[in-house]
């Protein structure tokens, strides 16, 4: 007899598997990557490029500037970048030394910045990166005045899009002697870092913290505040009031090396509405243009970059995509993916420390699979391609600077995207919800 394969939508095979896994383990699931669920995203917007009403620029003859300056509010030495794409904070510990150095080199070649992470400043990373943002996280792992002096900007991390309100996590198998030494913690032991800064309990304390850091760096370098996207408008306004020079906003698609999957799937709001709300908050505070906005979370292509700029961001930041450019999920060393119980294109196992391609591991043999020069070249090529794509779109909208892209250049393809972006639905004057 043919089996009858009725499927409950409440208790579908995935849910059944998840319940049974938890029943065996007795704890929550941990994984890398960002949210798996489908959310309205920048893909749901399209450009109204030039025709009769606007003149496009010639790609081969007419320039389209990509220069980007961050941190003009207070810093004597703002962050001057050649392109509007930066490399997001990813810790040494989560990433291998080779991966950190490759990102630094690629960013330097393209004239942009890279960022430390929850684990301090790796000397090789400092050397490889001409512009390095130094993170100050709740854990304070590796945060010290000596490295502060070497930084080109400081990023106070309040939260991340993948786990807003949650703390950091580095499983013991990734905590080797060097990683443990930089964090002054024991080797081989799971590190769960706090979800809030121990020395401040509200925005007034954040203002004091920012002032301290400014004094310590002689008002030379900008201070960024990074937040995971939840109550975006209020958070952005509070960060501005506390004195931030730059807001870094990370949407729910944002990647991580390890967190509880419940955070990735059930907390925060997507990058698209987060960006729109942040720009509104900057405008309502009278600080649009004075405090810069960097957006991250699921940025993958030149069109994503161009759309983010058109919606009002000053720059984007990329994490996962930069790892993919250097070989994450590439169909090589397939037997190593199988050992993790996965396949190329489906891997999200950064938390295990057994990265098949040497990116999120501290194992010397696995790391040797990631030659620095080759990885750096791939990231640089990818950044360059994204910049060219964004420039092409800007030129086709008649703009000689990617920062001249504007909301008026975009329309939405879906009702959800229209409601979240407050842009008209393509071919209509209808803006959902207004």
Ligand X SMILES: Cc1cc2nc3c(=O)[nH]c(=O)nc-3n(C[C@H](O)[C@H](O)[C@H](O)COP(=O)(O)O)c2cc1C
Q: Is 323 in the site for ligand SF4 (CB under 6 A)?
A: yes
Q: Is 319 in the site for ligand X (CB under 6 A)?
A: yes
Q: Beta-carbon neighbour count of residue 327 at 10 Å?
A: 23
Task: Figure out which of the listed residues 68, 86, 91, 191 binds ligand X, where binding follows CB under 6 A.
Answer: 91
Positions 372 through 431 that interact with ligand X (CB under 6 A): none
Site stretch for ligand X (CB under 6 A), options 84-92, 184-192, 210-218, 389-397: 84-92
Do the beta carbons of residue 418 and residue 431 sit within 8 Å?
Answer: yes
Encoded tokens for 174: 């990734």
Pairwise CA distance, residues 234 & 163, whole Å: 18
**CB of 117 or CB of 302, closer to ligand X:** 117
Q: Is 102 in the site for ligand SF4 (CB under 6 A)?
A: no
Encoded tokens for 122: 């790796």
- Short-list 104, 171, 179, 182, CA closest to 147: 182
User: What's the DSSP call for residue 88?
Assistant: P
CB of 162 to ligand X, least distance (A): 6
Q: How many residues bind ligand SF4 (CB under 6 A)?
A: 13
**CB of 57 or CB of 162, closer to ligand X:** 162
- Give the x-and-dash track for 163-202 against ligand X (CB under 6 A): ----------------------------------------
- Residues in CB range of 64: below 8 A, 6 or more apart: 57, 391, 394, 395, 399, 400, 401, 402
CB of 350 to ligand SF4, least distance (A): 3
- Short-list 337, 297, 342, CA closest to 321: 297
Q: Is 356 in the site for ligand SF4 (CB under 6 A)?
A: yes
Q: Is 97 in the site for ligand X (CB under 6 A)?
A: no
Site stretch for ligand X (CB under 6 A), options 77-85, 155-163, 234-242, 426-434: 155-163
Pairwise CA distance, residues 398 & 65, whole Å: 12
Task: Figure out which of the listed residues 41, 100, 105, 348 binds ligand SF4, where binding follows CB under 6 A.
Answer: 348
CB of 177 to ligand X, least distance (A): 20
Q: Residue 285 phi/psi, 5° resolution? A: -85, -5
Pairwise CA distance, residues 141 & 157, whole Å: 12
Residues near ligand SF4 (CB under 6 A) are 32, 323, 328-329, 347-350, 355-357, 359-360
């Amino acid at each position: 007899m043919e089996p009858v394969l009725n499927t409950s939508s409440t208790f579908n095979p995935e849910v059944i598997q998840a319940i049974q896994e938890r029943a065996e383990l007795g704890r929550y699931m941990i994984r890398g990557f960002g949210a798996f669920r489908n959310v309205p995203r920048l893909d749901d917007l399209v450009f109204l490029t030039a025709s009769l009403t606007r003149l496009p620029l010639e790609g081969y003859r007419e320039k389209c500037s990509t220069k980007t300056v961050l941190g003009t509010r207070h810093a004597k030495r703002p962050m001057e970048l050649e392109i509007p794409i930066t490399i997001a904070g990813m810790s040494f510990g989560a990433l291998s030394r080779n991966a950190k150095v490759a990102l630094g080199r690629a960013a330097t070649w393209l004239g942009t910045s890279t960022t430390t992470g929850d684990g301090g400043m790796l000397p090789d990373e400092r050397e490889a990166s001409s512009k390095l943002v130094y993170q100050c996280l709740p854990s304070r792992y590796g945060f010290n005045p000596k490295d502060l002096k070497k930084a080109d900007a400081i990023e106070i991390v309040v939260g991340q899009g993948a786990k807003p309100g949650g703390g950091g996590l580095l499983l013991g198998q990734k905590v080797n002697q060097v990683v443990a030494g930089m964090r002054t913690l024991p080797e081989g032991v799971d590190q769960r870092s706090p979800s809030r800064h121990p020395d401040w309990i509200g925005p007034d304390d954040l203002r004091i913290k920012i002032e301290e850091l400014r004094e310590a760096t002689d008002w030379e370098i900008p201070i960024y505040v990074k937040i995971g996207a939840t109550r975006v408008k209020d958070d952005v306004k509070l960060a501005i009031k506390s004195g931030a020079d730059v807001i870094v906003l990370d949407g729910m698609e944002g990647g991580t090396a390890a967190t509880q999957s419940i955070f990735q799937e059930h907390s925060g709001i997507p990058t698209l509405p987060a960006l729109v709300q942040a720009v509104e908050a900057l405008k309502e505070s009278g600080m649009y243009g004075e405090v810069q906005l960097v957006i991250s979370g699921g940025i993958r292509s030149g069109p994503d970059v161009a759309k983010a700029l058109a919606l009002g961001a000053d720059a984007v930041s990329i994490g996962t995509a930069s790892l993919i450019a250097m070989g994450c999920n590439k169909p090589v060393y397939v037997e190593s993916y199988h050992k993790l119980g996965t396949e190329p294109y489906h891997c999200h196992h950064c938390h295990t420390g057994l990265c098949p391609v040497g990116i999120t591991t501290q194992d010397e043999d696995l790391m040797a699979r990631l030659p620095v020069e080759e990885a750096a070249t791939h990231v640089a090529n990818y950044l360059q391609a994204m910049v060219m794509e964004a420039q092409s779109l800007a030129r086709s909208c008649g703009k000689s600077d990617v920062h001249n892209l504007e909301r008026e250049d975009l329309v939405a393809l879906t009702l959800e995207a229209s409601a979240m972006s407050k842009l008209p639905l393509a071919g209509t004057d209808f803006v959902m919800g207004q």
